[in-house]
Structure 1
Amino acid sequence: MLKQFFIICSGADTDLLNTTSKGEQNKYVGIGATVFFTAIMAFIASSYALFTVFDNVYAAIGFGLIWGLLIFNLDRFIVSTIKKRGSFTRELLQATPRLILALIIAIVISKPLELKLFEKEINQVLLTEKNAMTLQNQDAIALQFSPKEKQLKQAIVNLENNITVKEAEVNTLYNTYIAEAEGNSGTNKLGKGPVYKEKREKHDTALAELQTLKADTKQKITAIESELLVLKTKYDNQVANTQPIIDGFDGLMARINALNSLPWLPSFFVFLLFLAIETSPIIAKLLTPKGEYDFKLEDHETAIKTVVEQRVKERQLSVAADFKINDKVYADLSEEDELYDYKQKKARALMQLQADAFYKQQQKAL
């Protein structure tokens, strides 16, 4: 049962192969088994690749099964269409398009399994890329809020500078009226005279203004700090909303790019392995000598070809002979007086009818 299944997988004519020796049958069993297991590998590889895309087991298995059947059909077609005709050069030229197709299939099959084999290394590369993308995203979002943030912080600095200037003014007035009281400047008279009182009043007025300025400034700074807090909240929300996109940077294309950033040699060896698996049925067909099955298949095909070519030639000769007979028949008829008189009579009647019709048409026009 299993033997017959693998023979079907090889694309050989089962009825014809059953008439050959056991060794010849085993050769095609091996070719069919290679085709079958290549399709199994294609199913596994495509299922994993599609799982990384859809993140759904059932969808991945369903599409993977379709892809595996497609690869199975292609491999079976490739192997079954290579005919052994005794000329290796001719067979190689015949197999070249199949080898190119097998190369493409091997690339398609090997890439998803490479992603699975090097999954840990790929995850490390993706983690590094995600961290870099997170920092870039934060910087990009910060550029949207930084002008407003700088403006608000500068406003706080300006308000604090106003207080500093006012405090310096108050301190100056304080030192002025103290020096006046001590007689160190101004009138240089010791005691609290009229000038002292005037300077003291200026200081007290400035001090009151300072207190009022501090109270107003505190309210303004509180309001600005609230705006800064709102701005920070918006920034955090935008970062939080965009972070899942970065965390989801784990698709098929991202993994393939991460794989390409790894050393190429291990990946290349995996590709060579699948290339050998995919091309092994074709290479086996090319390297094996012409066997009993190939002779019988050639005999069967050439016998049918001979019969078809003979029938086509017979039809061509029949048509040519029929043309010659028709030419001779019509040539003989053209020389008969009876046929000539009959056609002359009919032509005369036809011309009379045409003349009558023309006359009636002209009469209506007048």
Structure 2
Amino acid sequence: MKRDYYELPKSSSIMRFLWKCAGGDRYLLERATYSDQIKYMCLGGIVFATGAMAGIAGGYAFYTIFEPRGSAIENPIHTNTLFGALLFGLIWGLMIFNIDRFIVTSTGKGDGTEAITWDEFKGAIPRILMGAIIAITISKPVEIRMFKTEIDIKLREKQLEQQSAYQAKVDSTYNEREILLEKDFGGLASERQVLVDRIKEAEQAYTDNLMGKANGVVAGNGPLSKALKAQLNNLENQLEKFDIQNKSRLDELNIRKDKLRIEKDKERDNNEKIANGLDGLLERIKIAHEVAGGWITLFITLLFMAIELTPVFFKLMLIKSPYDYLAENRDDLIKAEKGIEVKYDFYKDKEGIERHLVINHEAHRLMYEKVKLTEIQKELTDYAVNKYKEQEMRKIDENLENYIKPIQNEE
């Protein structure tokens, strides 16, 4: 807008976009001062930047939650999860952006001075709480991304510890089952070993007799050798019979042994998978607190809270400028055009707080017209009823027989 004493520079498309982000009125800003334009551009820049950071943080948190689990060190990018994270980050950023726009737009100027009074601060508490919650949700994903290298190393150590602990638990569990199974094998083996030992002794005695090594025995296949051979054959038959009788039980034990070995190998294979599952968002946040320490974590959170709450406090601290007076004039013109009158501090409520009296003249006019039309309609209705009454009375005077007929008794 050109003036003889002051000329505003032409606003750029970026400046107008940031005005929208801050909830500024372009029509009024183009007729205000350059400082007003800059103030609202800066406010809009903060709101836009907060929404952008929220989108990045939300997308990273989404990717961290839904990415395939694996080693914290060797962790390639998963394309499908990345596309989902980009979509979620865009939606999340737009949502936070609109919430911030609402917070900034709904925050008034207070009393128009730099000082923030208690009443102004008390009125802004809900907006401050919402801003603080948003700042915390943004800061945590950014925090774990800032310390990603340190977190990955620490997380990998925890994964290896978890893997070692799980391996020890698996070995302990299956060792107990293997010991019980070996006892069952041991019972059969000991019985069979007794027969095997007896067979070996019989074979040795038979051989010694054949070769004449036994004391007082002549070498050759005599009656004693034949008796020892018969005993050996009997023992071998007992061993064969034992093997046949216990074959099904031995096969069952071998099946159980193979099944137990397969289960144990399967649990060992799951060991790394279970340990790699220790890679969620919550675990990374906990490690970030351990790695960074309480003070650094607090500082990062306060930094994002400062960025998020800056527009709220700045609006409370802003001194009234031409833009604010133009906005008040616009509001008054709209109210006057629509017949709305506001009498400020007109009365006190029950608690002694001064309240404004709002008079809607247009509504009162319409109500007055409706009331008068209703009253006229009532009068016309009464008049019509009276005229109808007079008409009916004349009909009665002229022809009474049509209204009252004599009662004839029927015999």
The normalised TM-score by structure 2 is 0.63
Distance change (3 Å), C-alpha of 1:41 and 1:325: closer
Question: Aligned partner of 2:135: which letter?
Answer: A
Superposition map of 1:177-326 within 5 A: 209=235, 228-241=257-270, 243-259=272-288, 263-308=293-338, 309-310=340-341, 312-320=360-368, 322-324=370-372, 326=374
* In 1: Cα distance, 2:142 partner to 2:377 partner: 77
CA positional deviation for 1:288: 2.1
Query: Which has the larger displacement, 320-329 or 93-102?
Result: 320-329
User: How big is the alpha-carbon RMSD for the aligned residues of Structure 1 and Structure 2?
Assistant: 4.5
Given that residues 51 and 94 in structure 2 are in contact (C-alpha distance below 8 angstroms), is that contact kept between their aligned partners in structure 1? yes
| Alpha-carbon distance in 2 for matches of 1:274, 1:121 | 22
SS at structure 2 position matched to 1:86: coil
| Residue of structure 2 in register with 1:67 after alignment | 92
Distance apart, 1:207 and its partner CA: 12
Higher mean C-alpha displacement, 48-57 vs 278-287: 48-57
Distance 2:236 2:146 in 1: 73
Distance 1:207 1:290, change over 3 A: farther
Aligned to 1:29: 41
Pair 1:40 & 2:52 matched: yes
Q: Residues 45 and 109 of structure 1 are in contact (CA less than 8 Å); yes or no, is this contact kept in structure 2?
A: yes
Deviation at 1:107, TM superposition (A): 1.3
Distance (Å, rounded) in 1 between the aligned partners of 2:18 and 2:380: 68
Unaligned runs of 5+ in 1: 174-189, 347-366
- 2:399 maps to which residue? none
Identity rate, percent: 28
Q: How far does residue 252 in structure 1 lie from its aligned partner after superposition?
A: 2.8
Distance (Å, rounded) in 1 between the aligned partners of 2:186 and 2:39:
89
> 2:38 corresponds to which letter in structure 1?
N
Quick check: 90-99 or 323-332, which moved more?
Answer: 323-332
SS in 2 for 1:109: helix
User: Aligned-pair distance for 1:230?
Assistant: 5.0
Separation in 2 of the partners of 1:315 and 1:343?
43
Structure 2 Cα separation of the partners of residues 247 and 304 of structure 1: 64
Aligned AA (1:228): K
In 2, the alpha carbon distance for the partners of 1:42 and 1:63 equals 11
Q: Contact (CA 8 Å) 2:109, 2:317: kept in 1 or not?
A: no
Which residue number in structure 2 is paired with residue 177 of structure 1? none
Change (3 A) 1:125 1:208: farther
Matched, 1:114 2:143: yes
Pair 1:123–1:211, CA change in 2 (3 A): farther
Aligned to 1:76: 101
How far 1:114 sits from its partner (Å)?
1.3
Change over 3 Å in CA distance of 1:100–1:28 after alignment to 2:
same
Aligned residues of 1:170 and 1:206 also touching (Cα < 8 A): yes
Checking the alignment, whether the CA contact within 8 Å between 1:163 and 1:214 is kept in structure 2 is no
Measured after TM superposition, the shift of residue 167 of structure 1 is 9.0
Asked if 1 retains the 8 angstrom alpha-carbon contact of 2:22 and 2:104, the reply is yes
**Distance change in 2, residues 1:140/1:16 (3 Å):** same
Q: Aligned pair in 2 of structure 1 residues 323, 152: CA closer, same or farther (>3 Å)?
A: closer
Cα distance in 2 between the residues matched to 1:231 and 1:17: 79
Letter in 2 for 1:339: Y
**Offset of 1:68 from its aligned partner?**
1.8
Say if 2:167 and 2:271, in contact at 8 Å, map to a contact too: no
Partners of 2:163 and 2:271 within 8 A in 1: no
The one-letter code matched in structure 1 to 2:104 is V
Which one-letter code corresponds to 1:305 in the other structure?
K
Deviates more, 1:54-63 or 1:267-276: 54-63
Residues 127/342 of structure 1: CA separation in 2 closer, same or farther (3 Å cut): farther
- Aligned match of 2:63: 51
Using the TM superposition, give the Cα deviation of residue 255 of structure 1 relative to its aligned residue in structure 2, in angstroms.
2.7
Q: CA deviation at 1:333?
A: 6.2
Judging changes above 3 Å, is the alpha-carbon distance between structure 1 residues 337 and 29 closer, same or farther for their aligned structure 2 residues?
A: closer
User: What is the aligned partner in structure 2 of residue 126 from structure 1?
Assistant: 155
Q: Which has the higher helix share?
A: 1
Q: 1:343 to 1:82 in 2, by over 3 A?
A: farther
Structure 1 residues 27, 315: closer, same or farther in 2, change over 3 A? closer
TM-score, normalised by the number of residues in structure 1: 0.70
Distance in 2, Cα, partners of 1:341 & 1:246: 103
Describe the shift of the 1:313–1:47 C-alpha distance in structure 2 as closer, same or farther (beyond 3 A): same
1:75-114 map, 5 Å: 75-86=100-111, 88-114=117-143
How do 1:341-360 residues align onto structure 2 when only pairs under 5 Å count?
341-342=390-391
Aligned amino acid, residue 295 of structure 1: Y
SS of aligned partner of 2:360? helix
Deviation at 1:292, TM superposition (A): 2.1
CA separation of 1:322 and 1:42: change in aligned 2, threshold 3 A? closer
Distance 1:304 1:207, change over 3 A: same
**What per-residue deviation string (whole Å, max 9, x for no partner) do you get for residues 130-164 of structure 1?**
33443454466557755652233113433454477
Whether the 8 Å contact between 2:23 and 2:101 is mirrored in structure 1 is yes
- Given that 1:35 and 1:72 are in contact with CA atoms closer than 8 Å, whether structure 2 keeps it comes out as yes
Aligned residue pairs: how many?
Answer: 330
